Amino acid sequence: MQQPYPPSLGPQPSGALAIVAFIASLVAFFFGWVPFLGLVLGAIGLLLSIIAVRMPVLRGLSIAGIVLSTIAGLTSLVTTGLFLLALLGSSGPAPSQEAAASHSPEDFVEIDSRTLAGIAKDPDAHAGETLILYGYVTQFDADTGPCTMRVSVSADKQSSWLEYEHNSLAFSGDGDSQCPELDDIVADDQVKLTVVLQGGESYNSLGGYTTVPKFEVVDAEVL
């Protein structure tokens, strides 16, 4: 009598999906710091790993894929958020443009000599005031940078640069390189300045540290 053949067990499950899911998750893990890309790769690796973990073979590899792809996705979520914040910040208006937009022209007023003397005495107490001043540019060179200058200011236009009374610092734009309001100004110019007082700033001079008013220039006119 012939022996009966053993019953067929059917096709055995393959571990190929678990291997593919693990490789995808591993790639996502290494690229998780890249904005957007890490999110996409992490999502693909996580989806494949979740499907693969339901199968009875190589489940440990699938679980490792879930862990790696989750870490990749979270890392990329953080870097993507930081990238978008930096992008939005860099596309915003320059500070002087913001200052101009937040004030109407009639907010800027001319003052008398006594009021300016009070500002020079305690600039922090007058921070935020919007003024029209006249001045003589004493320094505007490579040492100050293209967006910051030293200006002797007065409440009125003077006939001689020696008559401008109060030392001050003035800046415009981003304070670094983008400051179109100051493009036409050079040292020794007499200027009319529309400014917002930022408070006081100390710097080292020949006689030691001195504190002077610091102005943000909204508009500047060479006289």
Mean pLDDT of 24-48: 88
- Overall fold of domain 95-222: OB fold (Dihydrolipoamide Acetyltransferase, E2P) (2.40.50)
Res 213: pLDDT: 92
Mean pLDDT of 104-109: 81
Res 91: pLDDT: 52
pLDDT grade for 115, boundaries at 50, 70 and 90: very high
* Mean pLDDT computed over every residue of the chain: 83
Q: Averaging pLDDT over each range in 13-17, 88-92, 179-183, 196-200, which range is the top one? A: 196-200
What lies within 8 Å, CB to CB, of 64 at 6+ separation is: 22, 25
pLDDT grade for 12, boundaries at 50, 70 and 90: low
> What are 189-217's pLDDT values in tens digits?
999 999 999 888 887 766 667 889 999 99
Res 87: pLDDT: 79
Domain boundaries, the chain: 16-90, 95-222
pLDDT grade for 182, boundaries at 50, 70 and 90: confident
pLDDT at 93 over 80: no
Q: Is the whole-model pTM more than 0.85? A: no
Inter-residue long-range contacts of 173-177, CB under 8 Å, 24+ positions, other chains counted: 173/94, 173/95, 173/96, 173/147, 174/94, 174/95, 174/147, 175/95, 175/145, 175/147, 175/148, 176/145, 176/146, 176/147, 177/146, 177/147
Question: Residues of the chain with pLDDT > 90: what percent?
Answer: 25
Determine the Cα–Cα distance for residues 119 and 176; give it in Å rounded to an integer: 26
Res 175: pLDDT: 65
Mean pLDDT of 34-45: 88
Mean pLDDT of 32-60: 87
> What are 127-160's pLDDT values in tens digits?
889 999 999 999 988 888 888 899 999 999 998 8
Determine the Cα–Cα distance for residues 216 and 192; give it in Å rounded to an integer: 13
Mean pLDDT of 22-50: 89
Asked whether 52 and 14 are in contact (CB, 8 A), the reply is no
CA 107 to chain centre: 28
Only one residue has tokens 């022209």, namely 105
Structure tokens that stand for 13 in this block: 């499950």
